[in-house]
Structures are given as structure tokens and as C-alpha cells.
Chain A
Amino acid sequence: MTLVLEAAVLGILTGGVYALMASGLTLIFGVMRIINVGHGALVVLGAYLSFAASRALHIDPFVTLVITMPVMFLLGFGLQVVFIRPLKTDREALSVLVTYAIALGLEGILGYVFGANYVQLQAWYDTASFPIGDFRITYVYVFGFVLCLAILVVLFLILYRTTFGASIRATMLNRTAAQLIGIDVDRVSAVAFGIGMATAAAGGVVFGITTAFNPGSHYDLISRLLTIIVLGGLGSLRGAVIAALIMLVSEDITSVVISPVWASFVFFVILIVVLLVRPQGLYGVRVRERI
């Protein structure tokens, strides 16, 4: 029982980082109606940037975010302008191919620069732990959770308390209508992509400090993130957060109760069952299709 409880707590703590990463992905989808298959590779890029920065400058991995988040924001902005904006027809399908190509390119570059060996970000708190009841919790999970929570709160504040956030939400609701009331959807899209990348940078730090990674890690990452946002309902931030928690908790509990091998598989089963009942996901709006 203690084991299950411990697994559940750990699942919630690690779920935070997936919630953050998935929020960026679902935000990008919501605004642009594109599926960024490169999101996992961009998270891995964020992790490597922090890795390099903390090595070179001898600073704490979390502190590197001061550098990596703006850098990744600009990169996202640029990627949107160069590769996504030119797609005029069949965006949903073509964007998958384009962002997949971006992921491959990043994997190649990272492999060339850093090699294929697994690395992990290091800090004093990545092994230190404190006791709670019958088990111990490593500090890094708590720090990571708090960081992700803080960034998620900022993200929600931007979306719901600022004028720019309002234009992002308007674009998510109806791109054409947003255009008609004078919102520059191209700019909104580029900034949203940038914001998505900045959250990917933050997610990358927490991911890289809790998990060993290499340039090929993005395949596993993106498959998890995509299933999370589908379960939560495409374009729903709230759904992404809740689905991430469901995923990580179910995985962690499965690995202690059954076997780690079946951890992701159980989540997949949950996804299938939910989609059979609600094809639009937990919080998704059933889009009225053009008839």
C-alpha cells in the first residue's frame, strides 16, 4: 500500500513536468491547428542547452532557464515564420511532416554536437531526499514540480489576464473570426509558438535533471505528449494538465503493481477507452465539422 501511495505521489510530482510540456503542445495546436511532432525534440534541445550552459558557466540547471527560455522563445518564433507560415493548404497533415523533419534535423545536429551517449543534468538536490511518512522523496522532484506549477500559473495568467492572451484565446476559438476583428493571427501564431518553445525549455530542464537523455529521446517523449493532449482534448490546457497527471500516476502505479514494462501500455488502454466513449477527449470541444 505504501508503495502504491509512493508511486501516486511520485506520479503527481513528475506529472507536473509533463503537464507543462503538454500545455505548450496543446497551446500550439489550439492557436495554429498544427500538430508539432517536433515538440519532443525541442524539449530535448532545451535540456541540452541547459546542460551546456550549466557546464560552461558553472551554474545551477534551473538558473540556466534565464538564458534558455528567451533563446527558445526566439527559436520558436523563427521556426513558425520560416517553416509553418508558408503552409497554406492541408496544414494539419503537412505540418506533421514538416515538424517531423524539424525533429529529425534537431536529432542529427544534437547527435553531431553531443554524441549519442546518454547524459543527465546535475545538481546537489538530484539525489538528496527527505522523508514523508514511510517513504522518502527526492528534492529534485519537488523543485521540478514547483517550477512547472509556477510556469503554468504564469501561462494561465498571460492567457486569461492580458490583452495579448485574449487575442491568443480568440484565435484558438475561431481563426477566421479573429482575423476579421483585426487580430494579426500570423503574429499571434509566431508568439504562441515561441511561448510553446519557452515552456519546452523549462520542461527540458526538469526532464533532463530527472531522466538520462540522448538525441533520440524525443521519440518516446513526443509519443507521451501526443497521447496526453489527445486524452485531455486537443487545444484544452486544463485537459492537458489533468491528462498528464492521469498518465504519470497510472504509469507509476502500474510499474509497482504489475511491471515497468507495461507502464505506458496501461495509459494507452486508458486512452483507447476514453476515445471510444468521447472521441473528442476529456475536455475537448466536439468541433462541428463543415457540412
Chain B
Amino acid sequence: MSLLKIESLTKRFGGVGAVDDCSPEVASGSITGLIGPNGSGKTTVFNLVTGFIPKDSGSVSFKARTIDGLGPDRIYALGIGRTFQLARIFPRLTALENMLVPVRRKGLRALFSGAAWSHEKERAMEMLEFLDLSLVAKTLGGELSYGQRKLLELGAVMMAEPELVLLDEPAGGVNPALLERIGDRIRRLNARGITFLLVEHNMSFVMNLCSEVVVLHRGRPIASGRPAHVRSDPAVLDAYLGA
């Protein structure tokens, strides 16, 4: 069953088609990789799905309900989390505070009461522990290493218990040891029932981690399926070598 269904998504920037009639699907429980040469529109798809930029046409539905026209905060509330390229965290908040910002609360009064309820703090600390970050819980985000930021951003997104998480280059710019750790944590979160859609350039990372792969070229999907199947698709080789 597809958790996220994208139909004929199109976006043009000043006459240049960034995403063109794009209709990939993300199966529930999968780790789907969205790959393609530079400028093939991968990040734009993320921005369109999460409501950061308005689409020209097409529609996106999540759990069989349309999410067209909703803002990023509403889409997140429905259960679609995302990370950014280059790991964006709040630099002047501590790691723990970074984890607490995404926590959802119901009601106006809850909003004006304490910044961290004890069970929220517990969950945040558990997640930090899971990511091996509990030692830096009180450190400002801006003082963390790049790898720690990557893990922190992933952990923070998990705090609102999303069902689908969009990861923008989770392996970008990290060393091999950390790469393994990030891959391992994604796999373990996936085992807990969280679906992932990720954009990535590191092919071996994608091929090892993903259960499904969609290849984008010039804003259009040109192949999809199992990693091994996609890897041998002549159209894919063409796109990468010919681009």
C-alpha cells in the first residue's frame, strides 16, 4: 500500500521545468531512495511535498488523504517529517532543546506552560541516547560537530512521531564510520514502523539501505523498483553518464 502518493507533480522556475509530471509513490514501511543526477529535481520534490514551495500542478496525498495547499507546519503535524541538506538545527539552543521544539502539544494552555514536561524530556533523552548523543544534551547546537548535528536533526524530527520521514542527503559529507551509524539508526527506526524517503548521492549507501529506488532525470522519474533492478536499467546509466 502506498503511504505517499504523488500524482503529476509539476513545478517550473522561470520557464525551466524543475519537476515535470512526476508521479512516484512511497510504499508504507519502505525505505525509498530518490536518486538522480545533480539538478534532476530531487530536493524540489521534497520542498513541494512538505509545502515549502507551492506547486504549479499535480497533487500529493498522504494516507489516501490529499495534503494539497497545506503549510509546512500542518503537513508536519499530519505525520510527514523532513530533514535538510547540510543538517539544519537550531544553533543557539541546546541539543535537548532542539529535541523539544518539535514535540506537539494540544491546547493553548499547554503552549504557555513549561517548555519541557517531564515525560517529554524523558522521551527526548531516550532518543538522544538512541543516537549516542546523551553526553552532549546540554551543549549548544552550534557547538556540535557536523556528524552530531546530522544525528540530532534526525532525532528531533522523530520527536513528533511522524509516520513518514523525508531525508535530504543523510549521508552527505559524513565519514564512513558515522555513515554506518546513520544507516543503522535509519534501519532500526524503520523496523519500528517508520517509512523513509531519502534523497542521496552516495550510491552504495542507497543500494545497501533502500528497499525501493526511484530515479529522477530532468524532473521526471525514468525508472523505479528494487535497487539491483534499477542499477542495471540502461535508461538510468544513460541519464548518469549522458548528463
Contacts and interface: CB of A to CB of B under 8 A. Distances in A.
Interface of A: 288, 291
B41 to A, nearest CB: 14
Contacts of A288: 13, 53
B130 interface: no
B134 to A, nearest CB: 31
A288 B47 CA distance: 12
Contacts of B13: 288
B240 interface: no
Contacts, number: 6
B53 to A, nearest CB: 7
Interface string B41-70: 000000100001100000000000000000
Nearest to A285: B14
A291 B47 CA distance: 8
Interface residues of B, number: 5
Contacts of A291: 47, 52-53, 84
A288 B12 CA distance: 13
Nearest to B53: A291
B42 to A, nearest CB: 13
B105 to A, nearest CB: 26
Q: Which 6 interchain pairs have the tightest Cβ spacing? A: A291-B52, A291-B47, A291-B53, A288-B13, A291-B84, A288-B53
Interface string B166-182: 00000000000000000
Contacts of B52: 291
B87 to A, nearest CB: 14
B175 to A, nearest CB: 27
Contacts of B84: 291
6 contacts: A288-B13, A288-B53, A291-B47, A291-B52, A291-B53, A291-B84
B185 to A, nearest CB: 25
A288 B18 CA distance: 14
Contacts of B47: 291
A55 B94 CA distance: 64
A288 B13 CA distance: 10
Nearest to B46: A291
B235 to A, nearest CB: 30
B43 to A, nearest CB: 8
Nearest to B44: A291
A291 B52 CA distance: 7
A13 B24 CA distance: 59
B169 to A, nearest CB: 14
A291 B72 CA distance: 11
